[in-house]
């Protein structure tokens, strides 16, 4: 499996720049990779509901607080980059009923999820930094995204950055198509997760 340094070197190669030995390297390429790698990784994670980063969990209600217009207020999951859906045993069957809002809790000002779902669950994309978990398509999208962020700083080429970002978008679209082929569970099959809780 690839390391974060290898991913950075793939991105540097895309823009014709020299490789680095470490993210802490004192070279300009090292400093720029250290500056942009983590941001690029989070951007690509948030852009798609990647299977390797998908988590389903029980939500924890915010104690003693409510949100105007909603019946329940839950804590935002730790290590969550993007909430994909909030549901319970009733709303999992019909996506039109899966309504929620991300907000700050009114008293403690902590990030929270407001919904009308009692005993709610959440599906979200986790902030996965372990490169051994990354799928091949994710790595490709990350390489192009990182290269698009590095290009203006290291080469001065905004056009190159735009081209690389378009290539990253293409990889993310490919991931969406791949996931559609790989994951074909009907809604009833998903509800077995809730039945087992």
Residue 174 is predicted with a pLDDT of 87
pTM above 0.85, yes or no: yes
**pLDDT higher than 70, residue 82:** yes
Q: What would the mean pLDDT of 79-98 be, rounded to a whole number?
A: 91
Confidence of residue 191 (pLDDT cuts 50, 70, 90): very low
Confidence of residue 188 (pLDDT cuts 50, 70, 90): very low
Closest listed residue to residue 121, CA positions, set 69, 77, 67: 77
Paired strand residues for 125:
54, 82
**pLDDT higher than 80, residue 38:** yes
Residue 41 is predicted with a pLDDT of 98
Q: How far apart are CA 92 and CA 96, in angstroms?
A: 9
Question: What ranges make up the beta strands (E) of the chain?
Answer: 54-58, 72-75, 80-87, 100-104, 111-115, 121-126
Q: What would the mean pLDDT of 96-103 be, rounded to a whole number?
A: 91
Please tell me the least confidently modeled range out of 56-65, 150-159, 167-176: 167-176
For β-strands 80-87 and 121-126, DSSP reports them as antiparallel
**pLDDT higher than 80, residue 182:** no
Q: What is the residue-averaged pLDDT of the chain?
A: 90
Confidence of residue 192 (pLDDT cuts 50, 70, 90): very low
Closest listed residue to residue 100, CA positions, set 120, 78, 127: 120
Residue 6 is predicted with a pLDDT of 98
Residue 183 is predicted with a pLDDT of 67
Domain range summary for the chain, segments of one domain joined by +: 4-49+135-182, 51-127
> Which are the contacts of 42, defined by CB distance < 8 A and separation ≥ 6?
81, 127
Please tell me the least confidently modeled range out of 61-75, 98-112, 123-137, 171-185: 171-185
Q: What is the pLDDT of residues 14-30, one digit of tens each?
A: 999 999 999 999 999 99
């Amino acid at each position: 499996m690839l390391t974060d340094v290898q991913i950075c070197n793939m991105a540097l190669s895309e823009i014709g720049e020299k490789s680095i030995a470490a993210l802490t390297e004192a070279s300009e390429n090292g400093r720029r990779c250290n500056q942009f790698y983590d941001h690029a990784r989070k951007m690509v994670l948030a852009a798609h509901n990647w299977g390797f980063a998908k988590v389903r969990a029980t939500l924890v209600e915010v104690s003693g607080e409510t949100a105007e217009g909603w019946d329940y207020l839950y804590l935002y999951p730790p290590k969550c980059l993007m909430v994909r859906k909030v549901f319970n045993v009733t709303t999992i069957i019909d996506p039109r009923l899966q309504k929620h809002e991300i907000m700050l809790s009114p008293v403690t000002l902590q990030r929270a999820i407001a919904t009308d779902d009692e005993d709610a669950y959440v599906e979200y994309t986790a902030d996965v930094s372990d490169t051994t978990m990354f799928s091949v398509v994710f790595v490709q999208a990350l390489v192009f995204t990182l290269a698009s962020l590095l290009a203006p700083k290291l080469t001065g080429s905004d056009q190159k950055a735009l081209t690389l970002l378009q290539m990253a978008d293409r990889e993310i679209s490919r991931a969406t198509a791949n996931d559609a082929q790989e994951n074909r569970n009907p809604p009833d099959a998903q509800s077995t997760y809730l039945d087992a809780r």
